[in-house]
């Protein structure tokens, strides 16, 4: 799908809602290394920061080269507080990783007694319509299913019809934004459309070279979200377990975070896929009892297979270099942050 398919009017609308932020060059060794690894120039938004030692910094910088499309990475060791980010504060299309926030908003309603996991809601089935022909893509009520089943389908198989069922139940995107902003305190997150509309109107903007604030979040924001859910900051233990358990059963990430991980690493994650973008957000639980929150967003790279392979390589690099870090000591911070 290309922007030309939708005509000049759709293109103008899409571009009007897009933000690209230029970055001013600064002299210095860190910037020179960064630009050399990323293949960037002053026109490309970028940022890099790490509290890990130099080897992981260099390796992640090289793997996250922006030469073939923007790549955003954030990682946080929940045990030590060590963190790493590449374009960590820049917006990327959430795609189906937004379903983590939909699940959390719904489970908050369970904790409040508004409904239960046995409550039944109708699948929202898309009705065929032309791209951009309406503000929201039309849907119809489908099969009634329990919230427990809808949550499972939404997370493990990334069912859009199940996601829109729970999204409709909580009150739409504005209700999810309110929970993320006001309860979780995470501001770099914006769910604009339901999933049916997001999918119908996909492809008008190229995320490899453009930053669209609609249905977007930063890698750091998603790490904050998944970390807080995992740590039980905002939900009851049972609600937390319902989400994390489903993420551990995710079936859509075999070529992404799970592809290169050792068998003794437990992964709870949620993937996302749209035109020219692939992502994976989750928690890596290591054999020694550490948890690492990871959010990786990859655009461009020449195709879906390459985007998934890049996520797999970045995830494994984060895991391998975590293992190489000494324990019980502080790390000098090499911070280079510009861009948004």
CATH number of the domain that 139 lies in? Answer: 3.40.710.10
Bridge partners (DSSP) of residue 189 are 217
Q: Which residues contact 171 (CB under 8 A, 6 or more apart)?
A: none
Q: Tell me what pLDDT residue 259 has.
A: 93
Per-residue exposure over 140-158, b if at least 16 CB sit within 10 Å of its own CB, e if not: eeeeebebebbbbbbbbeb
Q: Tell me what pLDDT residue 107 has.
A: 98
Query: Are the beta carbons of 63 and 314 closer than 8 angstroms?
Result: yes
Q: Tell me what pLDDT residue 328 has.
A: 31
H-type alpha helices, 157-256: 160-170, 173-178, 195-200, 219-230, 237-248
Q: Tell me what pLDDT residue 4 has.
A: 36
What range defines the domain where residue 185 resides? 50-325
Name the maximum alpha-carbon separation found in the chain.
Answer: 60
Assigned domain for 65 exists: yes
Assigned domain for 266 exists: yes
Bridge partners (DSSP) of residue 281 are 270, 295
Q: Which residues contact 41 (CB under 8 A, 6 or more apart)?
A: 25, 35
Assigned domain for 13 exists: no
Query: Are the beta carbons of 154 and 163 closer than 8 angstroms?
Result: yes
Q: Which residue has the tokens 């009705």?
A: 127
Q: Tell me what pLDDT residue 11 has.
A: 34
Assigned domain for 27 exists: no
Assigned domain for 265 exists: yes
Q: Tell me what pLDDT residue 32 has.
A: 41
What is the number of domains present in the chain?
1
Query: Are the beta carbons of 272 and 94 closer than 8 angstroms?
Result: yes
Q: State the pTM of this model.
A: 0.81
Assigned domain for 238 exists: yes
Half-sphere exposure of 184 (CA within 13 A, CB side): 30
Assigned domain for 17 exists: no
Residues of the chain below pLDDT 70? 1-58, 323-340
Q: Which long-range contacts (CB under 8 A, 24 or more apart) does 262-266 make?
A: 262/287, 262/319, 265/319
Q: Tell me what pLDDT residue 115 has.
A: 98
Query: Are the beta carbons of 19 and 213 closer than 8 angstroms?
Result: yes
Integer Cα distance of 76 and 331 in angstroms? 14
Secondary structure of residue 19 in the 3-state scheme: strand
Q: Tell me what pLDDT residue 175 has.
A: 98
Planar angle of CA 132, 158, 177, nearest 5 degrees: 65
Closest by Cα among 68, 97, 75, 85 to 339? 85
Assigned domain for 290 exists: yes
Secondary structure of residue 24 in the 3-state scheme: coil
Element (H, E) at 83: strand 83-86
């Amino acid at each position: 799908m290309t922007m030309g398919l939708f005509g000049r009017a759709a293109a103008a609308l899409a571009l009007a809602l897009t933000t690209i932020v230029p970055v001013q060059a600064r002299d210095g060794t860190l910037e020179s290394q960064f630009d050399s690894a990323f293949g960037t120039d002053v026109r490309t938004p970028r940022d890099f920061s790490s509290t890990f030692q130099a080897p992981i910094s260099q390796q992640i910088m090289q793997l996250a080269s922006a030469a073939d499309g923007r790549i955003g990475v954030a990682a946080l060791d929940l045990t030590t507080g060590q963190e790493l980010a590449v374009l960590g504060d820049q917006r990327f299309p959430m795609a189906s990783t937004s379903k983590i926030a939909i699940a959390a908003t719904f489970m908050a309603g369970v904790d409040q007694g508004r409904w239960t996991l046995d409550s039944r809601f109708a699948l929202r089935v898309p009705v065929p319509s032309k791209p951009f022909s309406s503000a929201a893509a039309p849907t119809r009520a489908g099969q009634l299913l329990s919230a427990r089943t809808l949550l499972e389908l939404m997370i493990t198989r990334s069912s859009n019809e199940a996601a829109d069922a729970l999204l409709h139940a909580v009150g739409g995107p504005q209700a999810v934004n309110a929970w993320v902003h006001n309860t979780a305190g995470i501001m770099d997150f914006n769910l604009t459309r339901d999933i049916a509309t997001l999918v119908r109107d996909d492809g008008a903007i190229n995320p490899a070279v453009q930053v669209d604030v609609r249905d977007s979040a930063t890698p750091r924001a998603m790490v904050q979200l998944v970390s807080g859910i995992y740590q039980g900051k905002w939900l009851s233990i049972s609600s937390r377990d319902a989400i994390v358990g489903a993420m551990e059963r995710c079936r859509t990430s075999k070529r992404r975070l799970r592809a290169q991980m050792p068998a003794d690493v437990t992964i709870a994650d949620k993937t996302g896929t749209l035109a020219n973008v692939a992502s994976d957000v989750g928690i890596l639980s290591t054999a020694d009892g550490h948890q690492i929150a990871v959010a990786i967003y990859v655009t461009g790279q020449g195709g879906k297979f390459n985007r998934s392979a890049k996520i797999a390589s970045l995830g494994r690099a984060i895991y391998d270099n975590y293992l190489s870090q000494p324990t019980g000591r502080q790390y000098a911070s090499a911070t280079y942050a510009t861009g948004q």
